[in-house]
Amino acid sequence: MKVVLFCGGLGLRLREHSESTPKPMVTIGYRPILWHIMRYYAHHGHTEFILCLGYKADLVKEYFMNYNECHSNDFVFAQGGRHVQPLRTDIDDWKITFVDTGLHANIGQRLLAVQPYLQGEEMFLANYADGLSDVNPNEMVAELAASNAVASFMAYQPTHSFHVVSLDENSRVDYISPIAKSGLWINAGYFALRQEIFDYIGAGEELVEQPFQRLIAQDQLLAHRHRGFWAAMDTFKDKQTLDELYTHGPAPWEVWRQPLLAPAPQFRHLAAC
């Protein structure tokens, strides 16, 4: 099953980390966060990727064109470096399509731009490419397949220390609670989508704004409640937190270091039957 990764944004809140590094290429340990997300999907059997590029797309392309397996794998070094043999490989079975979807395009328009590369896919996965999780994407796919819904996203309850506040028209507070106890869920940016999603996206529209509202009106949108690990990398502080988890690893999102719990679902387009 193909995986669409939205990795073309400017990442303004991470500019304090580096002006020259696009957000998907900010590293956690030896590898960019984009690689960690791709490695996660590959572990679950999804090794065909479509990268929606934009800001500093050349750096993303150059990274994979000059990929060095030895940075994250054991290897044998011989003959003064004339012979290098990796003892295992990360990306040997990956197929990556690089698509320039515009510098300022929103998520909905980036998805529309890669529609031609999703022809024949009954379902596909998509990801904001700025958050890490241990959610099983195959469970999301199975839930969507068992329903008549068009789209599903991972819902997550934030655990940080902010408080949710409810005010009346006179700014009197009638409710305040830690967000973790508020019962609120957020869209965590992990999606399972049917091909019909393209029927709901208009020109210029953001994916989660008008299209998802149309799906809700038709009872066509699911949420997969995930109570495991999820963390976004929006700020330099977030990066530091993820770095610390990685350093003391295995990090919660490194599911490839654990046994595969469920095989990737296989679907055929009805027209091919």
53-67, 153-167, 220-234: least confidently modelled range? 153-167
266: pLDDT strictly greater than 60: no
Q: Check residue 259 and give its pLDDT.
A: 57
Hey, how many other C-beta atoms are within 10 angstroms of the C-beta on 52?
26
Say which DSSP state 203 is in: T
125: pLDDT strictly greater than 80: yes
Mean pLDDT of the chain: 88
Q: Nearest Cα to 192, choosing from 153, 136, 147, 143? A: 153
22-36, 39-53, 133-147, 252-266: least confidently modelled range? 252-266
153: pLDDT strictly greater than 70: yes
17: pLDDT strictly greater than 60: no
Q: Are 152 and 224 in contact (CB under 8 A)?
A: yes
Please give the domain boundaries of the chain with CATH numbers for all domains.
2-154+185-272 (3.90.550.10)
Whole-angstrom Cα distance, residue 213 to residue 207? 10
Q: For 144-167, what is the mean pLDDT?
A: 89
For 36-93, how does the pLDDT look when each residue is reduced to its tens digit (9 = 90+)? 999 999 999 999 999 999 999 999 999 999 987 767 667 788 888 777 777 777 788 9
Say which DSSP state 263 is in: P
The tokens for 2 are: 């193909």
Residue 226's pLDDT band (cuts 50, 70, 90): very high
Q: Are 29 and 239 in contact (CB under 8 A)?
A: no
Q: Check residue 70 and give its pLDDT.
A: 64
